[in-house]
Structure 1
Amino acid sequence: MRVVHVIDHLGAGGAQRLVADLAPRQKQRGHIVTVVCLRHPTQTGRVLETAGVPVHYLRLGRTDPRQTIDLPALLHKESPDIVHTHLTLSCLLGRIAAVMVGVEAVVVHDHEADAEIFITPAPLLALKRLIEPYLPPRGVRYIVISHSALAYACQVRHLPESNLFLVPNGVDIAYLERGRVSSKAAREQIGLPVDVPLIGYAGRIAPEKGIDLLLEALSRLSGVHAAIAGHGPLANEMQAYARKLGVAERAHFLGHLDDIRPLLWACDVYVQPSRREAFGLAAAEASALGLPVVASRIGGLRDVVLDKVTGMLFQPDNVDELASSLEILVENVEYARMLGSAGQHYVCQYFTIDEVLDRIDKVYRNILR
């Protein structure tokens, strides 16, 4: 099959990670795969190109009207069997462009689930919900990444169940394990203390990610340290908040890491304190490496973490519950190890990248029928 992936940008994020994992493997399976990025080149794009996947960059801003001309022209040139779209703008423009050039098979990959209520102006959201189930082309299929997103798509967006497919994000377990070193060596590699209980987090430092909750919980845990990897609009504010709470010496802000594996190898517990989370790929990756995960009871995290089986879930914004869960795992090493082992088995059974590839191939075959 000739497949063109269309994505808003190739910066940091779960959607971008999926495309970077998916496209080269689809090529290995014999598909002819191209990626179209609406924005400018990034490191993820260069990784794709190194893997032999052509990447076309429109190099245009989010509101630039030339997107509606350049994207159809590219699709016409590539003549794909399937247009596979990712993220909000690409899902709209990619669908329009496919109709313009006569491509009937479009896969709309919803990486954001109910986050549309936060990122879409109310009048546009109402219009979208009203007309989306009836928009062309006839061959459209929707991929959602969690059970909560599936329920939202059916009950709120009123999309036809026959066109909906649940495909979680995939974890590249072989990559996560490649070159693995001991926790002590990993801590030394990224400049973390080697003889303390360590909680890890990797992701954006933004309001919806709940880093403030992590810092407040940390202030209640004696002797425990936290390693926080990532950039975001609240990076400086959260470092200031750590100083205010008196945990600056125990909260290690690492900035952006091109490779988060040393962080995961270094940690005793992984935490995802999000207020909003479509899936939680970093939590799944931590589980794949045998770490117990503490996460908010929201969105796709409820698929990734089975409460008191592979980790512990807490109510969003409940600092008391978060701190208590972290304290239990830090103090009870055997219990933490048991949860981590169960999580590793669970992720390896249901969330591998090969399993995701198989499911997406089934969606492609369904749509082409």
Structure 2
Amino acid sequence: MPDCGVWVFKSGGDRVNIFHLDCTTGFGGQESDHLSEARGFLEEGHRYILGTREGTPLDEKARKEVPTVSLPLSGNMDMVSLRRIRQVLLSEKIDVLVTTSYIDSWLGPLAAYSLGKTRPFVVRQRHLFNPPKNLFPYRKMCDRLVVVSDALRLYFMEKGLPFWHVTTIHRGIPEIDRRPSLEKDLSSPHPERPDGPIILQVGIFQRDKGQHLALDVFKKLVQKRHDLSLVFLGDGPLLPEVQARADRIFAPEIRRRIVFAGYQDPRPFLRRASVVIQPSLREALGLSILEALAEGLPVVAFRVGGVPEILNHAPPGRGILVQPWNTEAFASAVLESLEKNIPREPFDHKNVFSLKACVRKTLSFYEDGLEKLRSGFLHKNPYETIGGRADPMFRAKSNE
């Protein structure tokens, strides 16, 4: 049984019981989003349990914050995890099973489908723009696929998935607490914050996040301005490689202005930064962009994936899109943002990209899916018209 003693559930209304599996071994935007979504549903009075791989960063953080079940999740034939998932589905009366990664997207549906008519609604989430190794789990091992951007939805539709099988629900971030006491605490001096304008990149260190390209951009920038600093916030497998390259290509006096701050709360860094960069070459959405805009910061990013879907909502001058790989244009855009020195204007994300909006849309989607599952219309095109013609009254007219 999950440890949920820290949560008090509201009484009354239709409570939805959700079990969300993720076997991931790292911790980045996707895993942070899982925790935020769990907290959002719990605060609305619903039941939300995370199923995590034992000993992972997500498992350790989740057990401190939300109801959590730790599982081995060692492979697609892990019978121990399969039995425990099935036990949770039964004992907790789960309505919706959500899967995220490769292993749990096999074990979870197998456990759910074994329950027959009493099974839950099975949803596969996809946060990443990496090409999947196998489309079978997205077609056959879920009732619906939820993606985080329209760009990602179009990708799966181009791969042949029915348009009604794939739904976009933009992820959201919590509302920022701007109480004076918190503002003072977060703006206190920090040893890893250099003087002068700061260029900030937030994200896990992996190949497609573009940290190497950020170094190339910074090399061009310091040729024109000598007061700039570059701060990387995050951790990951590529970190040693990026650090070694920074040591190699920059003179010591410039290298000292490049800070690798590790994985930390981004809010103090966002409030000190002058511009946030996102040189990712693959990005399904980009929560770090939302966090930057919410703090009133300008953002420079490559035009990839779902990034334009965010920046199209940004206030004028807050978001600049650049063609991928063009580091010269990227550096010019950063300089333009710095020289304009636009006063900070927090982005109003409440209606589209807030956590509450995300929870509200997700709940409505789950309720619709459960209704279709119980009525037997889950795997039928809900937009199919009578007679297969554009006119829904075609058949009636032909019989007159």
**TM-score of the superposed pair, with normalisation by structure 2:** 0.78
**How far off its partner does 1:10 sit?**
7.1
Contact conserved, 1:225 with 1:250, CA < 8 A, in 2?
A: yes
Match of 1:200 in 2: 200
Q: Given residue 38 of structure 1, which amino acid in structure 2 is its aligned partner? A: R
Separation in structure 2 between the aligned mates of residue 293 and residue 241 of structure 1, nearest angstrom? 25
**Aligned 1:87-166 pairs, distance under 5 A:** 87-102=101-116, 103-112=119-128, 114-117=129-132, 120=133, 125=134, 128=135, 132-133=138-139, 135=140, 140-156=143-159, 158-166=160-168
- 1:255 alignment partner AA: G
* 1:6 aligns with one of 21, 32, 50: 21
Amino acid at match of 2:94: P
Partner of 1:276, secondary structure, is: coil
In 2, the alpha carbon distance for the partners of 1:231 and 1:136 equals 32
Contact 1:144 1:167 (8 Å CA) reproduced: yes
In the alignment, the residues of structure 2 paired with residue 204 and residue 176 of structure 1 have an alpha-carbon distance, to the nearest angstrom, of: 27
Aligned to 1:71: 85
Pairing 1:271–2:277 present: yes
2:73 and 2:104 in contact (8 A); partners too: no
Residues in 2 aligned to 1:364 and 1:190: alpha-carbon distance in whole angstroms: 46
Counterpart Cα distance in 2 of 1:63 and 1:360: 28
Matches of 2:240 and 2:146, distance apart in 1: 36
Q: Is the aligned partner of 1:305 residue 2:311?
A: yes
Distance 1:368 1:26 in 2: 17
Structure 2 alignment gaps of length 5 or more: 1-15, 372-400
Aligned-pair CA distance for 1:105? 0.8
1:184-223 to structure 2, matched below 5 A, reads 185=187, 188-194=189-195, 196-221=196-221, 222-223=225-226
Which of 237, 240, 244 is matched with 1:236 structurally? 240
Amino acid in structure 1 at the alignment position of 2:232: I
Q: Distance in 1 between matches of 2:173 and 2:92?
A: 29
Partner of 2:4: none
Per-residue Cα deviation, 1:339-363 (whole angstroms, up to 9, x for no partner): x63x713x34420000001100111
| C-alpha contact (below 8 Å) 1:176/1:285 kept by paired residues | no
1:56 Cα shift?
0.6
Partner of 1:35: 50
Deviations 1:254-294 (A, max 9, x none): 1222x121111110100111111121111111111111111
What is the CA distance between 1:77 and its match in structure 2? Answer: 3.0
CA distance in 2, matches of 1:81, 1:41: 26
Matched, 1:25 2:40: yes
Residues of 2 paired with 1:268 and 1:65: CA distance? 48
Give the secondary structure class of the aligned counterpart of 1:344. Answer: coil
Q: Shift of residue 192 of structure 1? A: 1.5
Pick the structure with greater CA Rg.
Answer: 2
Alignment partner, residue 292 of structure 2: 286
Structure 1 unaligned blocks of 5 or more: none
Aligned twin of 1:355: 357
Deviations 1:289-330 (A, max 9, x none): 111111111112121223864311111221111111111111
Once the two structures are aligned, what percentage of the paired residues are identical?
25
Question: C-alpha separation between the residues in 2 aligned to 1:46 and 1:231?
Answer: 17
Q: How many residues align?
A: 343
Taking the aligned partners of 2:184 and 2:191, their CA distance within structure 1 comes to 12
Deviation at 1:11, TM superposition (A): 4.3
| One-letter code aligned to 2:272 | A
Letter in 1 for 2:323: Q
What code does the residue aligned with 2:46 have? H
Q: 8 Å contact 1:229–1:255 — kept in the other structure?
A: yes
Report SS of the residue matched to 1:356.
helix
The CA distance in 1 between the partners of 2:76 and 2:190, in whole Å, is 42
Counterpart contact for 1:182–1:266, Cα < 8 Å:
no
